[in-house]
């Protein structure tokens, strides 16, 4: 039974990977045919800029993307086609970092001063060009790329199976089910096994929405506001370290059945986080997508009124706080998920001292009915 459980978990991980792939295909499908046509040209452009994870390549990608994003038609829409290609090649987190970097540079006036002025879209008056940006809150908490690359296990992809929604607003929104990232001695025996890799309640990448305002096209003192492209990004990742099956140090022995049950439990933690993500963060992301870009601007009496409308529609702070709180209560070690699981019939037990293959262990961990006296 335990082996079955472990097998089920592995199959689930693969499914998640496929699901992520399918989602990426959907992203592609959600873009207009026009935007997708030059894909091969974009791929060759990316290759020309570099195809590694070096800082130089990152900066070249950021520069190229920034140029496209700060250009009006016809170059502007190319960024929409370029981003999914970068996401496929480098992963969502990489693209988040790119967008975050561009946003920070723009806030510092670096790119805004060198990029060409946006060309107004057809039907938009000159007044709309004079948009002013307003930070909706503290700066991004996206981790540093170099630090993250250093932390990434050798040979491991940063991409992972992505599950979530991505849309043509060029912002990636994801819950990453990282599954098991490796095996180590169970933490009861001093190792890192049977532990999560991320803090409970944590959000791995959080770029608050930045609102841009402009007077309404029709005049009359009314104003419009929208979320700036590349902001309003949330990324949650959950993964864990598996314990070893069999000997875990000198004192602990975990049977195949108990090991499978522990794996199932850890997958359950990830699923619980995903459920809170779906409940509290996905609606935020949907609201951000609905308000991103000039074309999806809201209109109000004043800039403050527009800000109030966007704040209420997106509900960023309340949703993020609810996610953090519920994830903490549920997934904290000894929290509600652990408590609920401990009361199940197939939980694992410590059957005490036992000799296995001539080695004496102080703790033999197994499922019921146990090893027999």
Helices 92-107 & 76-90 angle (0-180, nearest 10) = 140
- Stretch of 113-121, 198-206, 210-218, 362-370 contacting other proteins, by CB under 8 A: 362-370
The Cα–Cα gap between 204 and 216 comes to 36
Q: HSE of 56 in the Cβ direction (CA atoms, 13 Å)? A: 5
Q: Which one among 3, 26, 157, 342 touches other proteins, defined by CB under 8 A? A: 342
Q: Is 336 in the site for other proteins (CB under 8 A)?
A: no
Q: Which of 137, 218, 283, 333 binds other proteins (CB under 8 A)?
A: 333
Between 199 and 283, CB nearer to other proteins: 199
Counting Cα atoms < 13 Å in the Cβ hemisphere of 69 gives: 26
Q: Does 132 bind other proteins (CB under 8 A)?
A: no
> Which residues in 250-264 are b (16+ Cβ under 10 Å) and which e?
eebbbbbbbbbbbbb
Among 349, 356, 359, 360, binds other proteins (CB under 8 A): 349
Q: Is 187 in the site for other proteins (CB under 8 A)?
A: yes
- Say how far apart CA 77 and CA 195 lie, in whole Å: 44
Q: Segment contacting other proteins (CB under 8 A): 32-40, 220-228, 257-265, 318-326? A: 257-265
Beta bridge partners of 233: 207
The answer to whether residue 188 forms part of the interface with other proteins (CB under 8 A) is: yes
Total of residues contacting other proteins (CB under 8 A) = 38
What the block records as the tokens of 118 is: 């946006």
Instruction: For residues 344 and 237, give the distance between their C-alpha atoms in angstroms, rounded to a whole number.
Output: 27
CA distance 354 to 371: 9
Q: State the binding string over 190-219 for other proteins (x if CB under 8 A, else -).
A: x--xxxx-----------------------
Closer by beta carbon to other proteins, 218 or else 333: 333
Cβ distance to other proteins smaller for residue 220 or 369: 369
Stretch that binds other proteins, among 47-55, 67-75, 102-110, 184-192 (CB under 8 A): 184-192
Closest approach, Cβ 205 to other proteins, in A, equals 24
CA distances from 325 to 232, 275, 316, 320, 330 (A): 20, 13, 14, 9, 9
> Among residues 56 and 199, whose Cβ is nearest to other proteins?
199
Rule CB under 8 A: say whether 171 interacts with other proteins: no
Half-sphere exposure of 259 (CA within 13 A, CB side): 22
53 part of the interface to other proteins, by CB under 8 A: no
Ranges within 216-245 binding other proteins (CB under 8 A): 243
Of the candidate residues 123, 221, 344, 358, the single one contacting other proteins (CB under 8 A):
344
Q: Is 3 in the site for other proteins (CB under 8 A)?
A: no
Of 79, 238, 106, 229, the C-alpha closest to 162 is 238
**Min dist. Cβ of residue 51 to other proteins (A):** 38
Of residues 259 through 298, those in contact with other proteins by CB under 8 A are 262, 265-266
Crossing angle for the helix pair 282-290 and 316-331, nearest 10 degrees?
Answer: 160
* Residues 6 or more apart whose Cβ sits within 8 Å of residue 288: 169, 171, 173, 209, 227, 232, 314
* Interface positions with other proteins (CB under 8 A): 186-190, 193-196, 243, 251, 258, 262, 265-266, 333-334, 338-339, 342-345, 347-352, 354, 362-363, 365, 369-373
């Amino acid at each position: 039974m335990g082996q079955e459980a472990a097998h089920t978990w592995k199959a689930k991980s693969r499914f998640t990977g496929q699901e992520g792939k399918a989602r990426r295909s959907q992203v592609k499908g959600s873009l207009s045919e026009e935007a997708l046509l030059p894909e091969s040209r974009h791929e060759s452009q990316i290759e020309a800029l570099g195809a590694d994870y070096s800082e130089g390549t990152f900066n070249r990608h950021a520069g190229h993307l920034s140029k496209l994003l700060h250009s009006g038609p016809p170059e502007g829409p190319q960024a929409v086609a370029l981003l999914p290609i970068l996401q496929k090649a480098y992963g969502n987190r990489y693209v988040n970092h790119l967008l975050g970097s561009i946003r920070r540079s723009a806030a510092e006036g670096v790119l805004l001063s060198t990029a060409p002025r946006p060309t107004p879209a057809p039907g938009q008056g000159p007044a709309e060009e004079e948009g002013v940006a307003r930070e909706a809150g503290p700066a991004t908490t996206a981790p540093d790329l170099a630090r993250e690359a250093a932390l990434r296990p050798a040979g491991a992809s940063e991409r992972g199976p992505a599950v979530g929604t991505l849309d043509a607003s060029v912002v990636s929104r994801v819950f990453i089910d990282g599954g098991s990232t490796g095996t180590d001695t169970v933490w009861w025996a001093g190792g890192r096994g049977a532990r999560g890799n991320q803090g409970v309640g944590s959000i791995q990448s959080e770029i608050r929405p930045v609102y841009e305002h402009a007077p309404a096209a029709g005049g009359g003192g009314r104003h419009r506001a929208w979320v700036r492209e590349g902001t309003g990004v949330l990324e949650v990742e959950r993964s864990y370290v598996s314990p070893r099956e069999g000997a875990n140090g000198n004192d602990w022995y975990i049977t195949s059945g108990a090991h499978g049950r522990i794996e199932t439990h850890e997958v359950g933690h990830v699923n619980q986080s995903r459920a809170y993500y779906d409940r509290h963060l996905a609606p935020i992301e949907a609201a951000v997508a609905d308000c991103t870009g000039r074309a999806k601007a809201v209109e109000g009496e004043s800039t403050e009124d527009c800000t109030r409308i966007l704040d209420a529609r997106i509900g960023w702070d309340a949703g993020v706080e609810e996610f953090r709180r519920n994830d903490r209560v549920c997934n904290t070690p000894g929290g509600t998920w652990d408590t609920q699981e401990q009361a199940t019939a197939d939980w694992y037990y410590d059957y005490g001292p036992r000799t296995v293959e001539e080695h004496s262990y102080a703790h033999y961990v197994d499922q019921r009915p146990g090893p027999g006296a």
